[in-house]
Chains A and B, each alone.
Chain A
């Protein structure tokens, strides 16, 4: 006798509602990975979400968690305050590349360096999404945006910033990994990394960081499929995937 079972199980903490994200935007995927990690680790009830400013400003509508909206770039500082006030809770920030790597560069660097026991999920789509596609610190050389219409130029705008490498270099950091969600294999690796990041928070070993390479079809002026392809052909070569710091990694024998 056979029995039908459901293969897809969406965590309860992932709110069952349509999102405002554009077709093909991978914020939804990243949210799901966080929801799955928190559920797998049994942390949902003690988690506090620190939102940020960008397309994901409404993340508190999609994850059923205690949450606070922080000013642009300041989420790591707000998170520091929350974690210091409630050290037994799981505290995480969810930030885009404008929020974290531009206006928030000081806050993320110092939060990571102090080794605050919080987790940051950093979504890198090489543009400012919410405000209409301006250049971000992660915009690639030659990439056209509304504030570098001729394409990002090294002499004028500098080179794109690789955040995971920088964060990994700071003393208080326990875990730093870069992932992508452009295919199933990478999604599975991403899920593992996000889970590990939260797990390290429970162990109190320092700051954990996951950079998620993601699409922005609208502001890249591409279809979702084209945008997803760009992650593979243009972004991953400049922002290589992989683990850059893991203080609990066992030595390879």
Chain B
């Protein structure tokens, strides 16, 4: 079931707490700075497919900068 993570780069403070709790270890610090001067975190597109949608990253983030989405079967759908 594909899952994905959206990082709100305007809110990220580069604390890296999310990188520690991701069970698949796919979160990393990018080389981009946001307007406030923080180096933001990211999951690169090629790594995103490994996201399990657990949202541990979002739970750990003190700045609510992470949104996690997952896909599920719609009712009555085929597998």
Residues of A within 8 A of B (CB): 1-8, 10, 14, 16, 18-19, 21-29, 32, 183-184, 187-188, 217, 223-225, 228
Contact = CB atoms under 8 A, between A and B. Distances in A.
Given A224-B16, A225-B17, A228-B20, A5 B72 contact: yes
7 contacts: A4-B71, A7-B70, A14-B64, A188-B59, A223-B16, A224-B16, A225-B17
Most buried by A among B17, B67, B69, B77: B17
Nearest to A14: B64
B38 interface: yes
Contacts of B68: 6-8
A38 B8 CA distance: 25
Interface string B28-64: 0000000010100000000000000101101111111
A24 B47 CA distance: 24
A146 to B, nearest CB: 23
B72 A2 contact: yes
Nearest to B64: A10
Nearest to B58: A8
A228 B17 CA distance: 8
Given A3-B72, A18-B11, A28-B62, A8 B17 contact: no
Nearest to B12: A23
Interface residues of B, number: 34
Given A7-B53, A32-B64, A1 B78 contact: yes
B67 to A, nearest CB: 5
Most buried by B among A4, A5, A7, A10: A7
Contact of A25 (B16, B62, B67, B78): B62
Contacts of A7: 3, 53, 55, 58, 68-70
A24 B74 contact: no
B60 A187 contact: yes
Contact of B62 (A2, A5, A16, A26): A26
A27 B58 CA distance: 15
Most buried by A among B1, B11, B59, B69: B59
A2 B73 contact: yes
B63 A28 contact: yes
A246 B53 CA distance: 35
Nearest to B71: A2
A24 B67 contact: no
A183 B57 CA distance: 10
Nearest to B38: A23
B17 A24 contact: yes
Most buried by B among A18, A188, A217: A18
B26 interface: no
Contacts of A22: 13
A24 B70 CA distance: 26
Given A2-B74, A24-B62, 9 more contacts: A2-B77, A5-B69, A5-B70, A7-B58, A7-B69, A28-B64, A29-B62, A224-B15, A225-B20
